[in-house]
Amino acid sequence: RLLTSRRAPREEPVAPFSYYFPCQRWLAVEEDDGQIVRELVPVDEAFVKKDSENDGQSPATLGLEQKAKSTTYTVKVKTGDKKNAGTDANVFITLYGSKDDTGIVSLKASKINKNKFERGKVDEFTVESVDIGDLKKIKIGHDNKGNSTGWFLEWVEIDAPSLGQCLKFPCGRWLDKSEDDGAVERIIFPAELQTVEYIPFVPYEITVYTSDIFGAGTDADVFIVLYGSDGICTKQKSLCLNKREQRMYFERNSVNQFIVELEDVGDIIEKIRIGHNGGGLNSGWHLDRVKIRRLLPNGK
Do the domains 71-197 and 18-56+201-294 match in fold? yes
Fold of 71-197: Lipoxygenase-1 (2.60.60)
Alpha carbon of residue 297 to chain centroid: 16
Spans in the chain with pLDDT lower than 50: 1-15, 50-63, 299-300
Domain boundary assignment for the chain: 18-56+201-294, 71-197
Q: Which of these, 75, 132, 144, 138, lies nearest to 108 by C-alpha position?
A: 75
CB proximity list for 62: less than 8 A, separation 6 or greater? none
Cβ 276 vs Cβ 221: under 8 Å: yes
Q: What is the pLDDT of residue 57?
A: 42
pLDDT at res. 67: 55
CATH 2.60.60.20 at 18-56+201-294, yes or no: yes
Cβ-based neighbours of 170, under 8 Å, separated by 6 or more:
154, 155, 188, 191, 194
Output the pLDDT for position 241: 85
Helix (H) or strand (E) holding 247: helix 243-248
